Amino acid sequence: MRSMLRSLLHRVFRILLITMLAVTSGAAQQHKMSVAARKKEKVERSYKKAYAKARKRTIKHRREIQTDVTKERMDAADRRASTNNNQNDPTLIERYFKRKRPRKR
């Protein structure tokens, strides 16, 4: 009777041990996956930041190599473009009071 009880306890203990190991290894895998995802996002952010910095330098350089007359023409073209782009935009007050969703009936 004792040996039967002892073997039963050993089996239960083994099953519990195996399930605990399986659960902890699953949690560890999830943690590794989240760490890898965060690392990937960080790398992507650094690439975007480097691209934006390089783009800004390029635009600045393009302007610097122009003559003064050309710079004035570029400024005038930028002003015309901004007025044309903002022509149909609502004003600040209109944007503030604009309804975001329709009324309930």
Q: DSSP letters along 16-72, please?
A: HHHHHHHHHHHHHHHHHHHHHHHHHHHHHHHHHHHHHHHHHHHHHHHHHTS-HHHHH
How far apart, in whole angstroms, are the C-alpha atoms of residue 78 and residue 71?
A: 10
Give the pLDDT score at 24: 63
Distance, in Å, from the CA atom of 93 to the CA atom of 45, rounded to the nearest integer, reads: 35
pTM of the model: 0.47
Distance CA 77, CA 81 (A): 6
What CA–CA distance (Å, rounded) separates 103 from 105?
Answer: 6
pLDDT in tens, the chain (105 residues): 677 777 777 787 788 777 776 666 666 778 888 899 999 999 999 999 999 999 999 999 999 999 999 999 999 999 999 988 888 777 777 777 777 777 777
Q: Is 14 helix (H, G, I), strand (E, B) or coil?
A: helix
